[in-house]
Amino acid sequence: MPTIYITAPQEAATEIAQTLVEERLAACVNRVACDSIYRWEGEIHTDAEEILLAKTTADRYPDLRDRVVELHPYEVPCIERFDETDIFVPFSDWRTRNVDAE
């Protein structure tokens, strides 16, 4: 079961998170405001962004990744997959029920 780490500008974060849950690509998406400092095209940038932590299943990850790429305004969005080695079973069961198609 993976958790997907995504960063997005604040103005796009709501749509991305909402779409992932509505389309059952994620059971839940947590949003955390952050300031990002990064290098892009040879310059240092500082921007307000949001960290999105999307809870999904291994089977749905490719579709989630592709959907984030479609929705994301960045040319190169940050999408990182973290696979759990230990997870509370009732949470894992809940996530699976809410991601798998009805």
In a domain, 86, yes or no: no
Torsion of CA 81, 76, 71, 80, to 10 degrees: 10
Among the residue ranges 24-33, 38-47, 85-94, the one predicted with the least confidence is 85-94
In a domain, 63, yes or no: yes
Q: Could you report the per-residue pLDDT of 44-87, keeping only the tens digit for each?
A: 999 999 999 999 999 999 999 999 999 999 999 999 999 888 88
With a cut of 90, say whether residue 21 has pLDDT above it.
yes
What is the number of domains present in the chain?
Answer: 1
* Alpha-helix residue ranges (DSSP H) falling in 1-102: 10-22, 61-71, 89-99
Range of the domain at 20: 2-76
Q: Residue 60 has what pLDDT? A: 94
pTM over 0.95: no
